[in-house]
Each structure stands twice: as structure tokens, then as C-alpha cells.
Structure 1
Amino acid sequence: MIKQTLLFGNRAYLSLKLNQLVIELPDIPEKPKQPITRPIEDIGILIIESHQVTLTSALLSSLLENNVAVITCDSRHMPNGLLLPLSGNTIQSERYLAQISCSLPLKKQLWQQTVMSKIANQGEVLKIWNNKESKCMAVWSRNVKSGDPDNLEGRAAAFYWRNIFIENPHFTRQRDADDCNALFNYGYAILRAVIARALVGSGLLPTLGIHHHNRYNAYCLADDIMEPYRPYVDNVVMEIIREHGTDISLTPAIKKKLLTIPTIDVKIGKLTRPLMIAATMTSASLSKCFNGESRKILYPEIICKQQG
């Protein structure tokens, strides 16, 4: 079942009753007499954007027990924190040991697969929005070596961001810009939560990456595994920009569109599944790699139609 993504951008009181999220909205005069309720088990991601949201500790505990990713936001309404459960799998300690014991050659092979998939999906996005073949992306994807010693990921990324905007060839990808970069950043934050949640559900430690290893990053593995999924976020953002232009702000309507990212249909193997479900398939396949049951991570392929 596809889990719901809930965002609270205004003052609200959130509590728990009979395994239900109870929502009270004091700023809405026409609010129903009875509080709004949502089953905890149906929630996948909960985003607390407003600093006037109050929630009980009982609710927070229940959310984490049900592997709900809870995202907090800063004063600019941009995600700045992610809460996940300490235990998300019945054999978590066994999975942790297998992950920690992963050899360097295997890590390099897994990163090779990750980069190959990411570049291939980026190439498809360029085809969708530029209506032309990007042969260099296909070549780079095929030629990635174990561990990517030639940094083809970086070369492909530079080419990708130079060519994704036909209307704005001088676009620069930045993490803190307030232009359309904010849309990418917001979408990636949602994606990161989806991937981290899936990893925890598979009994993996999202901190211990196969490539990323920043000492201050608690989600290195999530940042690794989300790479081939990023082009799906890019495609959603490009749809928004094509409709509204590049001079666009992160309005509630735009956020609503970005919140559909977990439900995007993706092709993974021979199946078509919502992105959130695909993420669990990817994390499960990664766990098998750590356990020695497989040597291949199951990543999705872009299946979007070209835009007119």
C-alpha cells in the first residue's frame, strides 16, 4: 500500500488516539466539529513546516514505531531535519553487521552500479526536455568503472545541468539559492526521506555509506542510494518550470506538486511501482548484496514520455 505524505504548514495540534493521528486546526473557522483523524499505519512521511505545530510525545513515538519519516523545517520553510526509528527491522543487528563488514571491492562495485544508473536516468531526462539524444551520457553510463575512478558522475552532472534548461543555459545548480533551485532542494529532501525510511525498514544503517562518508552527515547511505532517483525529482521540477517559468517561488501549490514524488510511477525491473515502493525494493536488494546473496542493486529506469 502507498503511504501518505502529510504536510503541516499552519498552526496545528497533533496528538494520538487509538492509533490515529488526531489533527486540530485552530486557525480554520470552518473546521469540522470533530478533529480530523488519519491512521498512523497509512502515513509514510510527515512534514512539519510551521513552527506553530504542536505534537505530543506519544504521537511522535507512535510515528517512529510505524517507520514514519518525520521531517522538520527551518525558518525558510526548507527541510532541515529528519527523524527515523532506531529499530526498523526484526533482524537489524544482523543486517548492521553485514553492512559494516562490507568489503571495499564490493562497495566500489555497488557505487559503480549506482553511478551507471544515475547517468542513464539523467540522459533520459535530457531527452525528454531537450528532445534530442545525449549520446555522451549513454557512453559515460556504460564506461563507469568500479568505484568510478574517472569521476564520470561529476562529468555527467556538469553536462546535465548545462543542458537541462534550453530557456536558461546559464542556470547554475546551487543548494541555497532562492530561485528554481529551491524546488530541486525541496524535492530532494522529500526523496531523501523516502530512501532513508526504506533503508531503515530493510534493517540498514543510513549513516554508513558505500561512497559518501562526510563525518557530519548522518544519512550517507541514503545520499548514495537516492542518486539514481534524483532524475525523477528533476522531471517533476521541469514539469513545474515548463508550466510556470524559471522565475518561480516555492508556493503551497508548488509544494503540493512536489509532495506527489513518493507516488510517481517508476519502472523497476519488469515491474511498474510507485517510487516509495520501488525504494523498498532497492533497499531490500542492497541488503542482499551486503549479505552475500546478490551482487546487484535493483534500481529504477526513467519511463516518462517525451514532452511536446
Structure 2
Amino acid sequence: MIKRTLFFSNPAYLSTKQNQLVIKFPEDDKIDRSVPIEDLGMVILENQQITLTNGLITKLIQNKTAIVNCNQQHLPISLLQPLSGHSEQMERLRYQLDASVPLKKNLWQQTIVQKIQNQANHFKKRQKNGLKLTNWSKHVKSGDSKNHEGVSAAYYWQNLFDIPLFTRNPKGISPNHLLNYGYAILRASTARAIIGSGLLPNLGIFHRNKYNAYCLADDLMEPYRIFVDDLVFDISKEHDHQDIELTTDIKMKLLQIPALDVFIDGQKSPLMNALSRTTSSLFFCFEGSSRRLLFPEFI
């Protein structure tokens, strides 16, 4: 089942009744409505005049619904997730904590190989030369000791957009702000899947910044970034690669990311469901019953 994403950009009062999310608007011309909580995968709160009851927050968390809060610039800044997301969480955490360094290096190698292969396939879709990317993907060592990820990323961003002097910088020129927004949605979706598999999003296989609470999410989302890039490229192309305002319409397009169809292990799947397959495969690697991480292939 594809979980829904709700986006609130206007003032609203959100509560719960009979396992429904009840939405009431202060404006007289807007009709109150309700949505089954079990259908929700993510709730994004953009407006500063939104009120939630604690009862609703509790039910959303019990449903493993990611609650994303935005700042006054309308950018996602926080993610509310349950402390426990799986009935066997303690057992699963033990495997995660006991994962050996060689295993984590091998998992990171698999991650980067798939990320670079997806970048090469994206170039092929955009009729750009991706031979260097394809070649680099074949030479990634354990732990990516030669930093092929960094080399590939530099080449990828220098040649993706038809924008002079474009570089990937969160504070850089358009469409960097669209990428920032899309990656924030992807990161929240990834953290949701990690917790649903009974793992800690804080403990990464490569990222280990002490100030980063989502190191594992940042690891596993790497091969998925391409789907954000692809969507942002289309949006940018529609605007002739000019400066783009992050309007509500643009945000609604980016909020489609969790529901995008991707191919994983030979099957078509919504991206949010694919993330759950990826995090489940990671646990099986930690457990020792598998050595293969499942990631989507960009086609």
C-alpha cells in the first residue's frame, strides 16, 4: 500500500477522532475534512499557525508516520519519529552495534557503486556522456578508499545542468534550493524506513559526524538521490534553467518523491516501499544472513 503525504501550508487545527486525522481550518470558506491515519506515511507542517493535539501526535507516531516541521523560510528543519519502530528492536540494535568494520566498508562500497551507476544512467537519459561515471563505478574499493564518490559527484554536478558555473552548494544558485527541499523529503522518508526496520538512524555505516542525528539515513539515501535530481532537472528544464521560486506548486511536485515508481530487485515499487526493502536488507546484512544491500536502479 502506498502511504500518503499530507502537506499543510495554511493555518489549521489538527486533531484525531476514531483513528482519523481531523483537519479544521480557521477560514469560513474551507470545509473541515478527515483522513485515515493508517493511510499516512508523512505529514509536513509548513505554516507557523498549525496546532496539533498530543493525541494526534501519539497516533501518528504509533502508525510510524513521519512528522516533518518547517521553519519560517518554509524549509524542513525537524523530524519527529517513534523511539521504537519494531517489535524486535533490541535484538536488531545488537546486530547493528556489533557490525564489523570490514562489513560496513563492504556495505559502503555497494552503496557508492549503485549511486555512481545511477548517475551514469541519469546522464544516459539526458543524452550526456556518462562513460567516466560508468568506469568509476567499476573501480570502487572497499570503503571507497579512493573516494570515487567525491570524484564522481564533482563531475556529475559540473555536467548535469546547462547552467554556467553551477556547483552543488546548499546555499548556491538555483536549482540548489529545489535539491535541498527534495533531499529533505527523501531524508525524512529514509529515516522513517530505518526506524521501521528496528535500526538506529544515528549510527551510520560511513557517515559518523557527532552532530548528525541521521548518519545512517544519509548513508542509505545516497543511491536514491538520483530520483530527486531527475525530478528537479525536469522542473528546471521547464523554466529554461532560470532562477526558480520555490512556490507551493513546485513543492507539491517535490512531495511526490515518496510515491515515485522505482525499480528494485527487478520489481517496480513506490520509492517509500523500496526504502523499506533497502533497510530490511541492511538488517539481514548486519544479522549475517545476507551480504547484499538492495538498492533501486535508475532506468
| TM tier, smaller | over 0.9
1:118-137: CA deviations, max 9, x gaps? Answer: 011111112222x1331110
**Aligned counterpart in structure 2 of residue 288 of structure 1, from 284, 291, 297:** 284
8 Å contact kept, 1:13–1:54: yes
Aligned to 1:147: 143
Scaled by the length of structure 2, the TM-score of the pair is 0.98
In structure 2, what residue type is equivalent to 1:289? C
Aligned to 1:216: 211
Superposition pairs for residues 110-121 of structure 1, below 5 Å? 110-121=107-118
8 Å contact kept, 1:180–1:249: no
Aligned to 2:174: 179
Superposition pairs for residues 1-308 of structure 1, below 5 Å? 1-27=1-27, 29-32=28-31, 35-129=32-126, 131-166=127-162, 168-177=163-172, 179-245=174-240, 246-303=242-299
The CA deviation at 1:177 is 3.8
Q: Where has structure 1 moved over 6 Å in runs of 4 or more?
A: none
Q: CA RMSD in A?
A: 1.0
> Unmatched 5+ residue regions in structure 1?
304-308
8 Å contact kept, 1:12–1:25: yes
Task: Work out the CA distance in 1 between the residues paired with 2:208 and 2:107.
Answer: 15
Task: Work out the CA distance in 1 between the residues paired with 2:202 and 2:74.
Answer: 25
| Number of equivalences | 298
SS state at 1:212 partner: coil
SS state at 1:147 partner: helix
Aligned to 1:306: none
- Fraction of identical pairs, as percent: 53
> Unmatched 5+ residue regions in structure 2?
none
1:23-76: CA deviations, max 9, x gaps? Answer: 01113x3222xx210011100011011110000111111111110111111111
Worse-superposed segment, 242-251 or 146-155: 242-251
1:111-170: CA deviations, max 9, x gaps? Answer: 0000000011111112222x133111001111100000100000000000000012x131
In structure 2, what residue type is equivalent to 1:257? K
8 Å contact kept, 1:286–1:297: yes
8 Å contact kept, 2:44–2:67: yes
Task: Work out the CA distance in 2 between the residues paired with 1:201 and 1:23.
Answer: 26
Task: Work out the CA distance in 1 between the residues paired with 2:56 and 2:130.
Answer: 49
Task: Work out the CA distance in 1 between the residues paired with 2:238 and 2:37.
Answer: 35
